[in-house]
Structure 1
């Protein structure tokens, strides 16, 4: 691969200055246009030590408006980062729509170096690269433009570059013992790089190999490719958006919208076939005295397990989903009332805000991953993409259909990190929901919980039930199974939830 690279490519000073003058104007104009676009630009800079990655990034910031560029470089993992899944640090730093994010020492660095040093065999290396492919595909499917540049130098050219830097009083700090160690392992690094590029250069995230012997040539090549790619991607997104708008307009023209009055006593539409929810035994209950006894026992057990998890640095994530008025809040309170308030956080999620809408839908959940020993409770979660957004038409069919795979991958990373992940769906029957809604209307301190939207959602009961059936079927895995809770009896539901959480924590702690 690198044998066919055009080594020694250079450019004259006059040509360089002429092209830069025009290029800078074009880049600034494109950058301003980008601010109004519905996609981010992700630029990955990788390659041989001393090949000019830093120089190129510095020039890009000089030629463009650096206020609209996020520069990210990674050296060592901080304690905050090692306590969370590996990709947390990258999701956290992803640029929003309309901005450029440049990544030096990105998600490629760790597997690449580990392979060159022999710390990873080929199978493990491929597995790490496959994780990268999934990550980049997830971002590209959401519209992100991903540009990856591999800055290359031949072995002799790299040695010459490192020696030249060492002789420069202002630049010699850049050359370290590690750089020379990497030079000695040049063939190993080249072999690892060729496999990396071969396996991860895809149409949605291609690699561009740039000869780095002449910094002027390399920087111009990178900048011009960025300019052309943004123009191309912007035009494609604009055309696709116009086509979607035209189709939506046609569909709207064929429909007559009539505002219906809410009939609160209307029966919900039921599906003509069984689902995972309709097969639940909703008559399950527990006697009051037994409930008190079980509650006390399980809360004590949870308290001990939670303290042990803190000591061992085991994180826990609880996901609560369910029908409106199913009792999620009550179940969560029975958990938190037995925990140290400093060790947990409850995060209720509703519609995304402007900052969250400017990122991939998983971004707002990635940034809340638990630190070591902490418990994070999600009241509604990333499943909104395949529930509310699916049923209410906020996500296109291709978006919510691909979300199943994205969610499974997301949860695999959480569990692989050693985090306890418990997913709970609390279900109530339509009749029980109606009774609870009416009770809320008459209870002053609960009235605020009930909205017209809750009543309208009852009209889509069957749609939501079908969506729940699909999500359980497609995302209940061995690593992250769903627990379905019969919730018509609140006391029974709370006991089952507590027991589920305790069992999951206990199982994980036995492994540590």
Structure 2
């Protein structure tokens, strides 16, 4: 894959001095057009062998464009905070907003390549990581991002020559370290591993661009022209317009579904409720203080359900069993301007809990396949692909040690109407009822159908849905607490089994 890049390309200084100012002016124009429209972000990955001009290229882009709207992210080994979360978490939160440019010096490819070279990743494990990266990049492109992936190539002799030249110059000597020469010894292994990585992740939506790094002027003009061409092409495309028309929702022929079959008559008397509430709150309090949880696990609780189904009440009973410093409750409403400038999942990525902590989502990332689908706030293509993206996200959470527990609280239409009227008639509860709640009742069947699709497509072995019969609040609260305790107990038992095998 790299042979074709080593062609000895050179550009004389005179050509560079003539072309660079024109290229710089055009890049600035394109950057300001992009900033004004705020329709898409630009993600530039700078990768390659040591001494191939990665740092010089980043500096050049900063000098040729407005640096106020460019951010450079450099990643080395993961920190303790990053190790306590999914592998991709540190990249998720570093993504540029729409209208901005993010340059990744060392990206989501760096660690897998390094681990494979060092023998810390088997080929099958590397391929699994790369498959996840392909899914991540496809999601970014579907969300509107422009991704440019550069690999700077040098021959072994070219790399040696570059390192010596950098070392001789007092202004660049600091860039050459003992590790630089150590990595030169693994040159052949790097070519083998990187060649495989580039082949597997060279997709139509995010292709790799291999640039020869021998000649500074050639490399600079090549990268500048590619960035300019990509920006201009993208700016000519029409904006991703959204037509707020909800697609038809097909109801089951026999009117039976996973929610209609729930027994909503189940109840729990006051005495039994108080006894079981105390039992499971006490058990939960012990579980979240267990060293196996504090040191190895985290907890993500997702609450969805019918309006007025009692999500808030269940959340409060869980929170009462935990130290307030150990959990965060995240209420999810309509996205803010900041959140709309990022991929859909970004506002949830920010709240991924670290080891020993819990994140409780009062409504969640499932809004895309529920309210946004039913109300037509996103395109059909967007909510259809969201099922797979959500499953991928939850899979990464579980792989990182997060116990993901998802609840759908269901009440009958009659019980919802009774609770709405009670809220409207009770002064201290009136803040809980809005005009939107009443409008949503008119689409009851559509929301039920969307919820059934959601449960069917996203109830996985790693992150299954628990449906909760919530006409009786006492019954619902105890079922939620009991489920959390049971799932945590299973996870901690698995952790203990892993420890025994070590």
166-175 vs 281-290, which moves further: 166-175
Aligned length: 489
Hey, what does 2:135 align to over in structure 1? 134
Aligned equivalent of 1:382 = 365
Over aligned residues, Cα RMSD in angstroms? 1.6
Instruction: Name the residue aligned to 1:22.
Output: 22
Match of 2:3 in 1: 3
The secondary structure found in structure 1 opposite 2:304 is: strand
Match of 1:122 in 2: 123
Q: Which residue of 1 aligns with 2:386?
A: 403
Does 2:183 align with 1:201?
no
Alpha carbons 1:153, 1:211 under 8 Å: kept: yes
In the TM superposition, residue 310 of structure 1 has moved relative to its aligned partner by: 5.4
In structure 2, distance between residues paired with 1:345 and 1:143: 30
> 1-side partners of 2:390 and 2:404: how far apart?
13
Deviation at 1:311, TM superposition (A): 3.4
Spell out, residue by residue over 1:55-86, the C-alpha distance to the aligned partner (whole angstroms, 9 max, x if none). 00010001000011111110121222111111
1:271 deviates by 7.7
CA deviation vs aligned residue, 1:297-331 (integer Å, no higher than 9, x gap): 11100000011155324211100001100000000
Q: Which residue of 1 aligns with 2:450?
A: 467
TM-score, structure 2 normalization: 0.95
Offset from partner CA, 1:369-421 (integer Å, 9 cap, x none): 10210111000000000000000000100000000000000000000001111
Q: What displacement does 1:37 show?
A: 3.5
Distance 1:196 1:373 in 2: 34
Deviates more, 1:69-78 or 1:491-500: 69-78
- String of CA shifts for 1:207-255, please: whole Å, max 9, x gaps: 00000001121111111100000111121244x64xx77xx8xx89xxx
Contact 2:6-2:154 at 8 Å conserved across structures: no
Residue of structure 2 aligned with 1:359, choices 327, 338, 342: 342
1:446 pairs with 429, 432, 437, which one? 429
Q: Which residue of 1 aligns with 2:498?
A: none
Runs (4+) of structure 1 moved beyond 6 Å?
none
Q: Does 2:292 match 1:291?
A: no
Tell me how far apart the structure 2 counterparts of residues 65 and 305 of structure 1 sit (CA, whole Å): 52
Return the match for 1:345 from 313, 322, 328: 328
Unaligned runs of 5+ in 2: 496-502
1:244-277 Cα deviation digits (max 9, x unpaired): 77xx8xx89xxxxxxxxxxxxxxxx998521110
Mapping of residues 34-433 of structure 1, within 5 Å: 34-35=34-35, 36-238=37-239, 241=241, 272-308=254-290, 311-433=294-416
CA contact (8 A) 1:270 1:462 kept: no
Aligned-partner SS, 2:466? strand
Q: Distance in 1 between matches of 2:279 and 2:449?
A: 36
**Does 1:436 pair with 2:436?**
no
Give per-residue Cα distances to partners, 1:465-486, cap 9 Å, x unaligned. 1101111110000000000000
Instruction: Give the distance between the partners of 2:455 and 2:321, measured in 1 at CA.
Output: 29
Q: Using the alignment, how far apart are the partners of 2:379 and 2:294 within structure 1?
A: 44
CA distance in 2, matches of 1:58, 1:237: 31
In structure 2, how many angstroms separate the alpha carbons of the residues matched to 1:285 and 1:461? 24
Distance in 2 (alpha carbons) for counterparts of 1:271 and 1:147: 48
Task: Give the TM-score, by structure 1 length.
Answer: 0.93
For residues 489-504 of structure 1, the aligned pairs below 5 Å read: 489-504=472-487
Contact 2:77 2:111 in 1 (8 A): no
Note if contact 1:322-1:427 (Cα within 8 Å) is conserved in structure 2.
yes
Deviates more, 1:361-370 or 1:78-87: 78-87
Distance 1:334 1:271, change over 3 A: farther
Provide the C-alpha distance between the structure 2 equivalents of 1:311 and 1:23, rounded to a whole number of angstroms.
54
Higher mean alpha-carbon deviation, 46-55 vs 74-83, is at: 74-83
